[in-house]
């Protein structure tokens, strides 16, 4: 029976297979023309421009960069893979600005496919958010696009395509926004990006997605769990579970990387004993949360998702896809493994920290810190200057997370993205989002264009974040001020979940 074609589906069809995007509610690119829903604030509405103008800092600079997504050959430190990247290394170029600066980034698409660039975590103007089908046209193969926006808040961010499962290639890079007034208080800074890697090892991410999708048509054969899907071992929640997360992922990756390297050929970070190092840690993986620890050290978490927290000491921490933390460590004397263990999976990423003499750790190093205190960023508390002021929500939206492996389909409020009713909000409101997880897997839920405050579950004031882990049967409530008008994707940052439906539009209405 053919599916019922709704208006939304029709618009989505006209916009083509844009992936991680579509045409829900707000505005659809159809035939190359933006067709706004007059009830909703368009991505390029006057109000968007006025809010942007108010963001500019007097005397702000302009930071320019060029990104050239293209087919590349990457040496992961042994395995050489053909993939798509922003550079001949992963991650792509570091972009660095000061809070209030204008960023002007030209994207020259040399991929054989449409692409886009999303500025994850940044409260930017909606028409620069990089969601094809919603905030812009896709950038066609051979095309160019200029992103120009003010980055208002200091912090550790990253950028990636919002097109299909392209993030699961080497298409990611870090954006650091420095606070001109920050005291600093550290001697060195290391930027570390975690990733799960499959592309060029016999399967592309699109083939992984197709294999997951096809499991829906394989009823009665055991669900496709744990058997080999044409060279790519796939397993489901039966095997990839974690005591901290429940179902921890859908894809068993052949490699886990730190700064683009497999553990057999890790990057080495050097310092001196007694130095205080700030580590900016980004999880750019598509289907993997990492448990991170540095052998012989305690970690002090100072920021999450860019925003400062009341500093918290821990042995290890859990970092889901799309989350970031800034850590401070005081270096001991010697050689130490920094491990990012794939949570609930087999394998890990490794970086070597060297502040003295000694042999490098083996690729399989497993410091005991990993099995001591493991911090979930959701329990962190906001630092005073960034605490969201107390206010009763004007409106509460419940987002019931549903779906599963059989068929491979993930939903919010019972619908996949193209069929989902937008979550309506008005400019100026305090909005509460309640993420209710009715699945057996964890979902790192991400909201574009806003930094919410975690509410209720832990102490107040809850940490300011843009991505939060929601474990099976858990409800996580977050509050945000609707001060950034436009149409904002709200989705699971498991790229395969988002792509197969777990995404909804947080829509400002007029």
Q: Which residues bind ligand C2O (CB under 6 A)?
A: 118, 120, 160, 162, 322, 446, 448, 489, 491, 493
Pair 241, 247: CB distance under 8 Å: yes
Q: How far is C-alpha 493 from the chain's CA centre?
A: 5
**Of 192 and 374, CB closest to ligand C2O:** 192
Of the pair 279, 492, the CB lying nearest Cu ion is at 492
Sequence-ordered list of residues with C-beta below 8 angstroms from that of 192, at least 6 positions apart, any chain: 258, 259, 279, 280, 281, 282, 338, 351
Distance CA(377)–CA(492), nearest Å, equals 16
Indicate which of ligand C2O, Cu ion, none lies near residue 118 (CB less than 5 to 8 Å, by partner kind). Answer: ligand C2O
> Considering beta carbons, is residue 345 or 448 the nearer one to ligand C2O?
448
Of these partners, ligand C2O, Cu ion, none, which one is at the site of residue 443 (CB under 5 to 8 Å by kind)? Cu ion
Closest contact distance (angstroms) between CB of 213 and ligand C2O is 20
Q: Pick one of ligand C2O, Cu ion, none as the site partner of residue 446 (Cβ within 5 to 8 A by kind).
A: ligand C2O
Least distance from Cu ion to the Cβ atom of residue 370, Å: 24
CB of 448 to ligand C2O, least distance (A): 6
Question: Which of the choices ligand C2O, Cu ion, none does residue 162 contact, using the CB cut-off of 5 to 8 A by kind?
Answer: ligand C2O
Q: Please give, one letter per residue, the 3-state secondary structure of 103-168.
A: EEEEEECCCCCCECCEEECCCCCHHHCCCECCCECCECCCCEEEEEEECCCCEEEEEECCCCCHHH
Closest CA to 162 of 21, 39, 360: 21
Q: What residues pair up with 351 in beta bridges, in sequence order?
A: 267, 338
Q: Which does 251 bind (CB under 5 to 8 A by kind): ligand C2O, Cu ion, none?
A: none
Query: Which of ligand C2O, Cu ion, none is residue 497 near (CB under 5 to 8 Å by kind)?
Result: Cu ion
Q: Which does 492 bind (CB under 5 to 8 A by kind): ligand C2O, Cu ion, none?
A: Cu ion
Task: Give the nearest residue (CB) to ligand C2O.
Answer: 120
Nearer to ligand C2O (CB atom), residue 131 or residue 299:
131
Q: Which is nearer to Cu ion, 101 or 287 (CB)?
A: 287
Residue 120 interacts, among Cu ion, ligand C2O, none and using kind-specific CB cut-offs from 5 to 8 Å, with ligand C2O
Site map 466..495 versus Cu ion, x via CB under 5 A: --------------------------x-x-
Cα separations in angstroms, 77 against 204, 267, 473:
19, 9, 40
Q: Which residue, chain included where needed, has tokens 């007097």?
A: 58
Query: Do residues 169 and 185 touch, judged by C-beta distance below 8 A?
Result: no
Report in angstroms how near the CB of residue 147 gets to Cu ion at its nearest: 27
Which residues touch 219 (CB under 8 Å, ≥6 apart)? Answer: 406
Least Å distance, CB 222 to Cu ion, is 23
Q: Is 443 in the site for Cu ion (CB under 5 A)?
A: yes
Task: Say how many C-beta atoms besides its own lie within 10 A of residue 242's C-beta.
Answer: 18
Q: What span, in angstroms and rounded, lies between the C-alpha atoms of 320 and 194? A: 10
- What's the min distance (Å) between Cβ of 339 and Cu ion? 24
Nearer to ligand C2O, 81 or 320 (CB): 320
Based on CB atoms, which residue is closest to ligand C2O, 171 or 317?
171
By CB under 5 A, name the one of 98, 280, 432, 497 that touches Cu ion: 497
- Per CB under 5 A, which of residues 128..187 are in contact with Cu ion? none
Nearer to ligand C2O, 117 or 374 (CB): 117
Contact 504, 492 (CB under 8 A): no
Q: How many residues bind Cu ion (CB under 5 A)?
A: 4
Sign of CA dihedral 343, 229, 195, 469: negative
Decide whether 387 or 443 has the Cβ nearer to ligand C2O: 443
Exposed (0-12), middle (13-18) or buried (19+): which is 398, by Cβ within 10 Å? middle
d(CA 261, CA 254): 13
Looking at the Cβ atoms of 169 and 446, the one nearer to ligand C2O is 446
Least distance to Cu ion, CB of residue 201, Å:
23
DSSP string, 258-320: ETTB-TTS-EEEE--TT-EEEEEEEE--SS--EEEEETT--EEEEEETTEEEEEEEESEEEE-
> Which region among 105-113, 187-195, 303-311, 436-444 touches Cu ion (by CB under 5 A)?
436-444
Other CB atoms within 10 A of residue 124 CB: 26
Sequence-distant (6+) residues with CB within 8 A of 376 are: 244, 317, 318, 469
- In the list ligand C2O, Cu ion, none, the entry touching 260 (Cβ below 5 to 8 angstroms by class) is none
Using the minimum distance from each CB to Cu ion, give the nearer residue, 223 or 444: 444
Paired strand residues for 483: none
Within 10 A of 510 (CB to CB), how many other CB atoms are there?
Answer: 14
What does 203 bind: ligand C2O, Cu ion, none (CB cut-off 5 to 8 Å by kind)? none
Q: What are phi and psi of 309, to 5 degrees?
A: -120, 165
Least distance between ligand C2O and beta carbon 416 (Å): 16
Name the minimum Å distance from CB 502 to Cu ion: 5
Tokens in use for 419? 């069929």
Q: Which is nearer to Cu ion, 323 or 369 (CB)?
A: 323
Give the DSSP per-residue string, 342-379. ETTSS-EEEEEEESSS-PPPPTT---GGGGS-EEEGGG
Least Cβ distance, residue 494 to Cu ion (angstroms) = 4
Two tokens, residue 490: 């709200």
237 binds Cu ion (CB under 5 A): no
- Interacting residue ranges for Cu ion, rule: CB under 5 A: 443, 492, 494, 497
């Amino acid at each position: 029976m053919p599916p019922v074609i709704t208006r939304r589906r029709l618009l989505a069809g006209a916009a083509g297979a844009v992936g991680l995007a579509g045409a829900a509610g707000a505005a659809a690119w159809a035939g190359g023309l933006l067709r706004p829903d007059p009830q909703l604030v368009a991505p390029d509405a006057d109000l968007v421009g006025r809010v942007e103008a108010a963001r500019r800092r007097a005397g702000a600079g302009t930071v320019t960069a060029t990104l050239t997504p293209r087919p590349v050959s990457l040496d992961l430190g042994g395995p050489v893979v053909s993939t798509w990247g922003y550079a001949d290394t992963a991650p792509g170029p570091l972009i660095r600005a000061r809070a209030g600066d204008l960023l002007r980034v030209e994207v020259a698409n040399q991929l054989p496919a449409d692409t886009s660039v999303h500025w994850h975590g940044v409260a930017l103007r909606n028409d620069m958010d990089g969601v094809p089908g919603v905030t812009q046209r896709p950038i066609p193969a051979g095309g160019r696009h200029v992103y120009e926006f003010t980055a208002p808040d200091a912090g550790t961010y990253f950028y990636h395509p919002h097109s299909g499962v392209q993030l699961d290639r080497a298409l990611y890079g870090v954006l650091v926004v420095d606070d001109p007034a920050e005291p600093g208080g550290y001697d060195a800074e290391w930027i570390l990006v975690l990733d799960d890697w499959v592309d060029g090892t016999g399967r592309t991410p699109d083939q992984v997605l197709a294999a997951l999708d096809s499991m829906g048509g394989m009823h009665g054969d055991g669900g496709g769990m744990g058997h080999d899907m044409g060279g790519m071992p796939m397993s489901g929640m039966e095997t990839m579970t974690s005591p901290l997360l429940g179902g921890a992922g859908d894809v068993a990756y052949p490699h886990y990387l730190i700064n683009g390297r497999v553990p057999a050929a890790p990057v080495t970070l050097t310092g001196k004993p007694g130095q205080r190092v700030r580590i900016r840690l980004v999880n750019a993986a598509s289907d993997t949360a990492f448990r991170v620890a540095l052998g012989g050290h305690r970690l002090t978490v100072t920021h999450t998702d860019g925003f400062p927290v009341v500093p918290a000491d821990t042995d290890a921490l859990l970092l889901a896809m799309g989350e970031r933390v800034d850590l401070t460590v005081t270096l001991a004397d010697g050689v130490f493994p920094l491990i990012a263990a794939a949570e609930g999976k087999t394998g890990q990423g490794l970086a070597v920290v060297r502040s003295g003499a000694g042999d490098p750790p083996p690729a399989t190093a497993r410091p005991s810190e990993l099995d001591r205190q493991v911090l979930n960023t959701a329990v962190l508390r906001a630092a005073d200057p960034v605490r969201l002021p107390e206010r009763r929500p004007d409106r509460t939206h419940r987002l019931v997370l549903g779906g599963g492996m059989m068929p491979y389909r993930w939903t919010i409020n019972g619908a996949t993205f193209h069929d989902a009713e937008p979550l309506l909000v008005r400019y100026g409101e305090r909005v509460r989002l309640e993420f209710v997880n009715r699945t057996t897997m964890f979902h790192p839920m991400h909201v574009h264009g806003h930094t919410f405050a975690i509410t209720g579950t832990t102490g107040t004031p809850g940490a300011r974040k843009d991505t939060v882990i929601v474990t099976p049967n858990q409800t996580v409530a977050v509050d945000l001020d609707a001060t950034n008008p436009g149409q904002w994707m709200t989705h699971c940052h498991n790229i395969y979940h988002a792509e197969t439906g777990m995404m909804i539009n947080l829509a400002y209405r007029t």
